[in-house]
Each structure stands twice: as C-alpha cells, then as structure tokens.
Amino acid sequence: MIDRGIHKGDDAMNNKIFLAVILTSSVLVGCYSKNIPMEESIKEPLETPIEQRLEQSSKKEEKSKEEEKTILEAKEDKRSLEPKKELEKPEKVKEEPQKEVERQVYKTTDIEKSNTLSNDLKSWWFKRNTQNLPPGAQGEIDIVKYDTYYLGNTREKRIYLTFDEGYENGYTGKILDILKEHKVKAAFFVTKPYIKSQQELVKRMVEEGHIVGNHSVTHPRLPDKNKEEIEYEINETARYFKEITKTDMPLYFRPPAGEYSERTLHITKDLGYKTIFWSMAYLDWDVNNQPGKKEAFSHVALNHHNGAIILLHAVSSSNTEALGDIIEYLREQGYSFASLDEL
C-alpha cells in the first residue's frame, strides 16, 4: 500500500517536471530563432493585448494633434508679428482705358455718320441771268441744312465782297489800300502757306477789320480726303492763323476750287464753320490770261444783284485795276457792302 502511494506521487511530480522542461525548451527555441535574448523576450510580451494597443494608438493621435496645433499656433504668431501691408488703392489709370474706349466709339460713330452721306464730287455752279436777279444754283443738295451760302440777304441791295488768297502775286497790298480808301470791309480766304509767307499782310487784314476766312492748308480736292484729313486741313489753318495773329480765325470756310460733296459739307458744319460759295465769279485766276480792267468792270456791271457774294482772286491784275471803279459803280446803283457776319 505504502509503496504504491509513493510511486503514484512520484509519477505526478515527474510529469510536472517533464512539462516544465518542454515549455522551457520551447521558449528557448523561440528566442533563439528570433535572435532575441531570453531576458528581453521575457520583458516584452510576444503580443500586446488589444485594449492596450487601442489606448497607445489614441495617445499617439492626441500627441500628433497637439504637435500640429503647436506648429499652426507658431505660424500664426509669426504672421501676427509681420507688418501688415495696406491695401493698394486702385490706380486712376485703370479707369482710363474705359474712357478711351468711349471716346473711340464716339469717334467711330461720327465717322460712320458722315460716311452715310453721299461723297459724289460736285463742282459749284450757278446760272446767270440778264435781269440782275439772284441766280439759280445747283439743287442736288439742300445746302441750307449744312450752313452753306452762295447768296446773302436778297431782299436788300447788299453786296458781300470776297477774295481768295492761295498765294501772293503782289496785288493784295494795293487791294487793301483801295478798300481802306473806300471804307469797305471784305473777306479774304487764305491758305496756311499764304499766312506763313505773308504774315504782315494777314495781320493788316485783321487790324483793318476784314474777315480772314479758312481756305485749307494744301488746297486739296476735299471729297478725295477722309474725315481726319479734312479736319486737319481746316483745323491746322485755323491753328496757325491764331499763332501768327493772336486771334481766332473766323468760322467761314471756302472749299478749294469750289469742289465738295454732301459728306464734306457735313464735316465742315460739324467743325462749326459756314461754307461760303458765290453767286458772281469769272475766269480771273489765270495770271497769264488776264482780261484787263474793262472786262473786270463789265462783269460786275452786267451781273450785280441783291445779296451777291462776289468772288475775286487777289492774284488778278485786272481785278486790282478795276476795284475802285467797281465799288463806286455799285454804290451808285444803291448797294451797300456787308460783312459775312451779317449772313
């Protein structure tokens, strides 16, 4: 009995020792297979419990958020220390392009307006009569709506005496002497080259009370020119006249060679000018084919009429010789000499 009990206890003890040896061997084999010292394997469990891992992960996230918050706060502090830039005021230049566009639109519209009118070339003409009555003239264009005149007041015996000055032929001084002697005021239509070359004569015209009208810069055929070129021809002559005389040029324009179109009359009016044609004229501009004093006088005696706008070229020796007699004859017929300002 006793022997059996001892043997059974020994078996149980042996079994426990055997299991312990097996477990120890397994741990040692695992440690050496991972090259991990045994002491370390004991310190660090082979697998961390799930609750502990979740807790560690949460702590890492909190730490990361805290670090990110610290970095952002540092950046904000840096920005707050930097000097603040004032908002730049919008420059006035930014508004200018719009104004420039508006001006350009207006200009284009004005060009289009003038381009809707006929630009057919016309040469001024009138039809004489033998009854000393105001002559008829072209009727294709309603010139009245373009401030254009070829007659003055036809209800009264008035004469409007005008001279064209493209260049000087040595007679203008004498003409001015005759007008001064007879106390007659006339109108002289001058070009820019004439003003430039005859500054003293032009100043004398102004000083003695005559109208000095605009006859362009280069004496061109106006319908062949565009709007800007026509404006230059007129405006530049007026500008230079003021530079020389210190007075504004009166707003009267005579188309070179009497050539025009409805479009050019419109442009001239838009510039503020009255266009002045004529109801009396003859071939007096050819300096190499002058008809003489008698012919010049006869032309006026046969064709005078109420409201006559007489065109004489100042380069004509015939006109200069006959001028005094013409003035006296017309006064004898009951005429007075009027200014274009009375149109």
Active site residues: 164, 313
CA distance 335 to 157: 5
Question: Residue for token digits 């004569």?
Answer: 201
CA distance 331 to 176: 18
Tokens representing 155?
């209800």
For residues 279 and 312, is the Cβ–Cβ distance under 8 A? no
Q: What are phi and psi of 149, to 5 degrees?
A: -130, 145
For residues 340 and 252, is the Cβ–Cβ distance under 8 A? yes
H/E run at residue 136: strand 136-137
* Distance spanning both ends of the chain, measured CA to CA: 167
Label the pairing between strands 259-260 and 252-253. unpaired
Q: Which of 316, 311, 274, 268 is nearest to 167 (CA)?
A: 316
DSSP 148-178: EESB--TTS-EEEEEEEESS--S-HHHHHHH
